[in-house]
Amino acid sequence: MADPYLNLSIEHHLLQKSAPESAVLFLYINRPSIIIGRNQNPWVEANLALLDPARNNHPETEPPGLGVVDLVRRRSGGGTVFHDEGNVNWTVISPPKDFTRDKHAEMVVRALRSCDVDRSRVNERHDIVLDQGARTIEAASDDTHSTPYMSESGDPRPLKVSGSAYKLTRQRALHHGTCLLSSPNLNVIPDYLHSPAKPFISARGVESVSSPVGNILLKNDRFISTVQEQFAQLYGVNNEPQAVDEAWLEHDAIRKGYDEMR
């Protein structure tokens, strides 16, 4: 199931209805789509002319598009991201007392390192990056905020592979993020996330922070299974994973959220 509207509606339902003391892990993959934060201006964040070639408004000066790409506004803050089948999205919903902005990004880094992605770490913006330097320094193997490949000069810049966004309620905390594993569209993502109208718009919304990105080159299934293992260790749970599909749209609350997002 790769419907971004349905996946985000299920995520919101889990935030609202899961037991207050429970911890929930939700993993999903979307078809090509641009996901903007709740306080962002789409005219500033995305090249809207590329999204739907059927409208015949695709400028000749722009690169060829991928076909129809969904534009979806999520309910959490944060910046704009591009999703596709080479990107696995992860969400952890937990009690607020368990929440920090790094806790679950660190969980994902431990999963990546268990797959021998030893350049991965959490940076100061709570993103997950891959350091690109030569191995020059020693770093503790359990330190998820440093690697032996960090460059003291900052050059070459690390590649961002996962960004995060958050939503806090009185009873629940949601932390969700992306993970670029094997996106076939890496070379065109900048085209979609660069708005030609941005210089001409004065917007009050939150603007995204641009970063160089890269693929981890890891199979989706392996990433999913290792994140599940790390989540089970972190929260001491061993529940059988439950698959979601289009049948969840029959739930009234999820259908309502789905229709609102459309």
Q: What is the pLDDT along the chain (262 residues), one digit of tens a residue?
A: 899 999 999 999 999 999 999 999 999 999 999 999 999 999 999 999 888 766 555 555 555 567 889 999 999 988 899 999 999 999 999 999 989 999 999 999 999 999 999 999 999 999 999 999 988 877 667 899 999 999 887 789 999 999 999 999 999 999 999 999 999 999 999 999 999 888 777 666 666 767 899 999 999 999 999 999 999 999 999 889 999 999 999 999 999 999 999 8
Distance (Å, whole) CA 188 – CA 184 = 9
The order of strands in the sheet holding 89-94 is: 24-28, 89-94, 173-177, 164-168
pLDDT of residue 160: 96
CATH number for 138 = 3.30.930.10
Count of structural domains, the chain: 1
pLDDT of residue 51: 86
* Side chain identity at residue 248, one-letter code: W
Phi, psi for 222 (deg, rounded to 5): -65, -45
Domain that includes residue 76, residue range: 4-261
HSE-CB of 200 using CA atoms within 13 angstroms: 4
Q: Are 120 and 141 in contact (CB under 8 A)?
A: no
pLDDT of residue 54: 60
Q: Give residue 85's region: left, alpha or beta (phi > 0; psi -120 to 50).
A: alpha
Q: Is 91 helix (H, G, I), strand (E, B) or coil?
A: strand
Q: Are 213 and 189 in contact (CB under 8 A)?
A: yes
Distance (Å, whole) CA 148 – CA 119 = 8
Q: Which residues contact 199 (CB under 8 A, 6 or more apart)?
A: none
